A and B are shown apart, each in its own frame.
Chain A
Amino acid sequence: MGDSQYSFSLTTFSPSGKLVQIEHALTAVGSGQTSLGIKAANGVVIATEKKLPSILVDEASVRKIQLLTPNIGVVYSGMGPDFRVLVRKSRKQAEQYHRLYKEPIPVTQLVRETAAVMQEFTQSGGVRPFGVSLLVAGFDDKGPQLYQVDPSGSYFSWKASAMGKNVSNAKTFLEKRYTEDMELDDAVHTAILTLKEGFEGQISGKNIEIGIIGTDKKFRVLSPAEIDDYLGEVE
């Protein structure tokens, strides 16, 4: 990829052995809106702030949580345009797997392939790393799973994780509240409370997005009305 004029990598080692472009990419992620995910005993929930630049923006036209396959969803913190590229590439990879094996792609495989794409952009000529970290939530034969993928292409499975502006407070909050035998509904409440912790302004169904997947293995994004119901329960 890239012009032959740029057939050298822009991400190179510093004298101390660090890849500074990746570190800068992580800084870009750290200044993005907070998002988080929680793995429950019977499902996974992912959530994010949806702060729009103006009230003139049509809130329904913005979807930060996307479907990769019917049973895998993803959310990000960082640069929206980079996220769209990764979503497109991941969806294509999932389709290609299905065409070859006539089976839905397992969550770990999709995460691995997406991470490989992100790694490519840290080593190929003439391109910069992606300025996003992803939280991938899925439910397949191995049960509910939550993975975080970073701009470097490294990924880990998490019981609960957060990214973006409020990451340290959110993670501390999650560490206190997480239990192994949490049910999906409890996880949604905990997710909302965690977002509420660092939220500037009045939280409502219109300025956060929540996606869940349960034992039915169908990932779906909650409507603003459903979020408002959960908010009411949390009050």
Chain B
Amino acid sequence: MSRGSGGYDRHITIFSPEGRLFQVEYAFKAVKAAGITSIGVRGKDSVCVVTQKKVPDKLLDQTSVTHLFPITKYLGLLATGMTADARTLVQQARNEAAEFRFKYGYEMPIDVLAKWIADKSQVYTQHAYMRPLGVVAMVLGIDDEFGPRLYKCDPAGHFFGHKATSAGLKEQEAINFLEKKMKNDPSFTYEETVQTAISALQSVLQEDFKANEIEVGVVRQESPVFRVLSTEEIDEHLTAISERD
């Protein structure tokens, strides 16, 4: 039986004979190829995301290397994967959130943002003229009704709410680690949330970080703005973790 797709199923997003979309699967591989691992954890009244900060060249301005982006004052996005794709996604998301606020008179809720990102990704999996983005986006925020929320959107257009999750190179190892920690549905305080996220990253990558080697972003119910932690704050948490162990 000849291969009916003419061999194009690997180049554009049409179905393979097994019913798979190779371009989408390759997009997932591109996310891993960036070599970064990210972790997100949702606590009782806060959400924390952590990612590696790899500055490949000492001459680079460190402050310009970031994967954490505020979308609005209240919503943050952690992009794992291809940086250029991440920036374009962030730009569009910021525009969409601003228009939402203008049109409807209230802040874009986090699940609406996550759904919008996921729906946009779905369009790229169905239309041949644009490839899927090589980015997994973790969005975090405090929802008015449901409290702290963490969503993960991937190149296939899937999105789920998560109690904790991971993306990037060591995604599966991190998820295994987090599943053990969250098995009994714990209710983490802010400090526990941040420390679980950081120690998960340290354990999975098997290295102890310095404050300038990781980026940490948080939202807390008591002050629901998205904030990137400073190196001093990260240091405090790192010290607390090493004293605890």
Q: Are A80 and B158 in contact (CB under 8 A)?
A: yes
For residue A56, which residues in chain B have a CB less than 8 angstroms away from its CB? 162-165, 175, 178-179, 182
- Interface size of A in residues (CB-CB distance below 8 Å): 43
Q: Is A232 an interface residue (CB 8 A)?
A: no
Q: Is A137 an interface residue (CB 8 A)?
A: no
Q: Are B160 and A126 in contact (CB under 8 A)?
A: no
B184 → A minimal CB distance (Å): 11
Q: Are A57 and B119 in contact (CB under 8 A)?
A: no
Q: Is B83 an interface residue (CB 8 A)?
A: no
Query: Closest chain A residue to B182 by CB distance?
Result: A56
Query: Closest chain B residue to A81 by CB distance?
Result: B157
**With A56-B178, A82-B122, A84-B118 as given contacts, are A127 and B127 in contact (CB-CB < 8 Å)?**
yes
Which residue of B122, B129, B162 is within 8 Å of A85 (Cβ)?
B122
Which residue of B16, B151, B179 is within 8 Å of A24 (Cβ)?
B16
Selected interface stretch from B17-25, B66-74, B233-241: B17-25
Complex: how many Å from CA A82 to CA B128?
15
A228 → B minimal CB distance (Å): 18
Which residue of B18, B128, B165 is within 8 Å of A10 (Cβ)?
B128
Q: Are B128 and A25 in contact (CB under 8 A)?
A: no
Bits for B97-109, please: 1 = Cβ < 8 Å to A, else 0.
0000000000000
Q: Is A31 an interface residue (CB 8 A)?
A: yes
Q: Is A54 an interface residue (CB 8 A)?
A: yes
A52 → B minimal CB distance (Å): 7
B46 → A minimal CB distance (Å): 16
For residue B164, which residues in chain A have a CB less than 8 angstroms away from its CB? 56
The list of the 10 closest CB pairs from A to B, nearest first, reads: A81-B157, A61-B161, A27-B19, A28-B19, A24-B15, A20-B4, A3-B129, A58-B161, A81-B122, A126-B128
A-B contact pairs, 22 of them (CB 8 A): A2-B127, A2-B128, A3-B130, A6-B128, A24-B17, A27-B17, A54-B165, A54-B179, A55-B179, A56-B163, A56-B182, A61-B111, A62-B161, A79-B157, A81-B118, A84-B119, A85-B123, A88-B119, A121-B126, A126-B128, A128-B14, A130-B126
Q: Is A14 an interface residue (CB 8 A)?
A: yes
For residue A27, which residues in chain B have a CB less than 8 angstroms away from its CB? 15, 17-19
**With A1-B127, A10-B128, A80-B158 as given contacts, are A55 and B19 in contact (CB-CB < 8 Å)?**
no
For residue B18, which residues in chain A have a CB less than 8 angstroms away from its CB? 24, 27
Query: Closest chain B residue to A28 by CB distance?
Result: B19
Query: Closest chain A residue to B16 by CB distance?
Result: A24
Q: Are A58 and B162 in contact (CB under 8 A)?
A: yes
Please give 17 more A-B residue pairs, beta carbons under 8 A apart, in addition to A58-B161, A85-B119. A3-B130, A10-B12, A18-B4, A24-B5, A24-B14, A54-B165, A56-B163, A56-B175, A56-B182, A57-B165, A60-B161, A61-B151, A80-B158, A85-B123, A88-B119, A128-B15, A131-B15
Q: Is A30 an interface residue (CB 8 A)?
A: yes
Q: Is A211 an interface residue (CB 8 A)?
A: no
Q: Is A26 an interface residue (CB 8 A)?
A: yes
**With A52-B160, A56-B178, A58-B161 as given contacts, are A28 and B128 in contact (CB-CB < 8 Å)?**
no
Q: Is B125 an interface residue (CB 8 A)?
A: yes
Q: Are B5 and A58 in contact (CB under 8 A)?
A: no
Complex: how many Å from CA A53 to CA B160?
10
Q: Are B163 and A58 in contact (CB under 8 A)?
A: yes
Complex: how many Å from CA A28 to CA B121?
18
Complex: how many Å from CA A85 to CA B156?
13
Bits for A1-29, please: 1 = Cβ < 8 Å to B, else 0.
11101100010001000101101111111
Query: Closest chain B residue to A26 by CB distance?
Result: B19
For residue B165, which residues in chain A have a CB less than 8 angstroms away from its CB? 54, 56-57
In this complex, which of B5, B15, B130 has the most chain A Cβ atoms within 10 angstroms of its Cβ? B15
Q: Is B183 an interface residue (CB 8 A)?
A: yes
A40 → B minimal CB distance (Å): 32
For residue B130, which residues in chain A have a CB less than 8 angstroms away from its CB? 3
Q: Are B157 and A128 in contact (CB under 8 A)?
A: no
For residue A81, which residues in chain B have a CB less than 8 angstroms away from its CB? 118-119, 121-122, 125, 156-158
B2 → A minimal CB distance (Å): 8
Q: Are B118 and A55 in contact (CB under 8 A)?
A: no
A72 → B minimal CB distance (Å): 21
B126 → A minimal CB distance (Å): 6
Q: Is B13 an interface residue (CB 8 A)?
A: yes
A45 → B minimal CB distance (Å): 26
Q: Are B128 and A131 in contact (CB under 8 A)?
A: no
